[in-house]
Amino acid sequence: MKKMGLTVLVVFTVLALSGCATPYPMGWVYTEIKAPVAAGDGMVSYSKVGTSKATSVLGIVATGDCSIKTAAANGGVKNIKYVDYDAKNILGFYGEYTTTVYGD
């Protein structure tokens, strides 16, 4: 039993210290970030905003459409100025991923 506990500890330590490189910051316990995705040319002013969302439960089931196309359609945006991405994840049990499109 002692050998099993030591093996689990070593594996956990290696995983904890190895770190996974991700394009966005991620926390082990809780993550809530807002990040830019893209920006277009011209003025930053906008008159319409559209969002799309996907959710994940236990990392097993994921549903929704958080695409830029759906966000633009939901907001009636024809000319996209810029796009933001929001992510919230709690212990890997529940996650929300939202794409927000700004434009006219």
For the stretch 5-35, pLDDT in tens is: 778 777 666 656 555 555 556 666 888 888 8
Question: What pLDDT score does 22 carry?
Answer: 57
Question: Residue 29: phi, psi to the nearest 5?
Answer: -90, -45
Q: Which of 42, 57, 62, 60 is nearest to 90 (CA)?
A: 57
The boundaries of the domain holding residue 70 are: 27-103
Q: How many structural domains comprise the chain? A: 1
In a domain, 3, yes or no: no
Question: Residue 72: phi, psi to the nearest 5?
Answer: -65, -45
Question: What pLDDT score does 15 carry?
Answer: 59
In a domain, 20, yes or no: no
Rounded Cα distance between 85 and 64, Å, is 15
Q: What pTM was computed for the model?
A: 0.71
> If 0-12 CB within 10 Å is exposed, 13-18 middle and 19+ buried, where does residue 51 land?
middle
Higher pLDDT, 63 or 46: 63
Rounded Cα distance between 65 and 78, Å, is 18
